[in-house]
Amino acid sequence: MRRVLAAIVAAIGLASAAAPAWAAGETPKPPAQRWSFDGLFGTFDRGSLQRGFQVYKEVCAACHALNQIYYRHLTQIGFTEDQVKQIAAEYEVTDGPNDQGEMFTRPARPSDRARRPFANEPAARAANNGAYPVDLSLVVKARFNGPDYLYALMTGYTDPPANVTLPDGMNYNTYFPGQQIAMAPPLQPDGVTYADGTRATVGQMARDVTMFLSWTSEPEMETRKRMGVKVILFLLVLTGMLYAVKRKVWAAVH
């Protein structure tokens, strides 16, 4: 219990310490973007989702994991079961033990969790100059206005002002708190070749991968919204019926 309370106090302290930096305006607010999934009737753009998965696969997956996603989930963004099997089979996963009690590797299946790029955190840090690449499964939910922030982060790399000197291994990013980030600019013009012929500008790739990571953060969003609309319609019909019954019951009184 004491450890839990200590962790809570520490978290509050860190939040309080970080608050002045945001309040002081040192980090600009990410520009608002328009997303297809905004609003009560918003949905994910399947074309953008698939392009975003391609960007993640070819650019982000070398460092960042998607621990909450299984390959079978990719059918939700428009891939067929055969395509998902082909995507999964591109990766090797560890399985076992076998009959001899030994672990072995095999091609991944749709039922497998998306493969991690590193075996453990120390290995990830060793490959990234001590920085630990965060898991991207829920990254959009980890920030206020997560989609706008993520898009701004990926497009916010610039040269530092003349009065700013960056430590070795750091990069300047307008929208990252403190403006100093260890991750190098992940997106370069024409960094991927989209299968549908869409031009792979930095802005387009940032938008597509943000769409994809918004889906990984909340894959049930469309189902939740459809259910919400049905509930609202049901309540409207029920209200009308109750009003009609009320008028019928009290008609003699009036």
How many whole angstroms separate alpha carbon 142 and alpha carbon 31? 18
Q: pLDDT tens across 10-46, in order?
A: 443 434 434 433 333 478 999 999 999 999 999 999 9
Q: How confident is the model at residue 5 (pLDDT cuts 50, 70, 90)?
A: very low
Tokens encoding 16: 């309080």
Q: How confident is the model at residue 1 (pLDDT cuts 50, 70, 90)?
A: very low
- For residue 127, the one-letter residue type is A
Q: What is the pLDDT of residue 10?
A: 44
**DSSP secondary structure letters along 50-105:** HHHHHHIIIIITTT---TT-BGGGGGGGT--HHHHHHHHHTSEEEE---TTS--EE
Q: What is the pLDDT of residue 169?
A: 85
**Residue from 158, 139, 160 nearest 210 by CA:** 139
Q: How confident is the model at residue 248 (pLDDT cuts 50, 70, 90)?
A: confident
How many whole angstroms separate alpha carbon 70 and alpha carbon 116? 11
Q: Is the pLDDT of residue 100 over 90?
A: no
**Residue from 107, 109, 61, 105 nearest 85 by CA:** 109
Q: Distance of alpha carbon 218 from its chain centroid, rounded?
A: 8
Q: Is the pLDDT of residue 7 over 80?
A: no
Q: pLDDT tens across 133-190, in order?
A: 999 999 999 999 999 999 999 999 999 999 888 998 899 999 999 999 999 999 999 9
Q: pLDDT tens across 46-94, in order?
A: 999 999 999 999 999 999 999 999 999 999 999 999 999 999 999 999 8
How many whole angstroms separate alpha carbon 72 and alpha carbon 251? 58
* Cβ neighbours for 172, distance < 8 A, ≥ 6 positions apart: 157, 158, 159, 160, 164, 166, 179, 180, 181
If residue 172 lies in a helix (H) or strand (E), which one and from where to where?
strand 171-172
- Per DSSP, the three-state class of 164 is coil
How many whole angstroms separate alpha carbon 148 and alpha carbon 145? 6
Q: What is the pLDDT of residue 254?
A: 60
Angle between helices 46-55 and 202-217 (to 10 degrees): 100
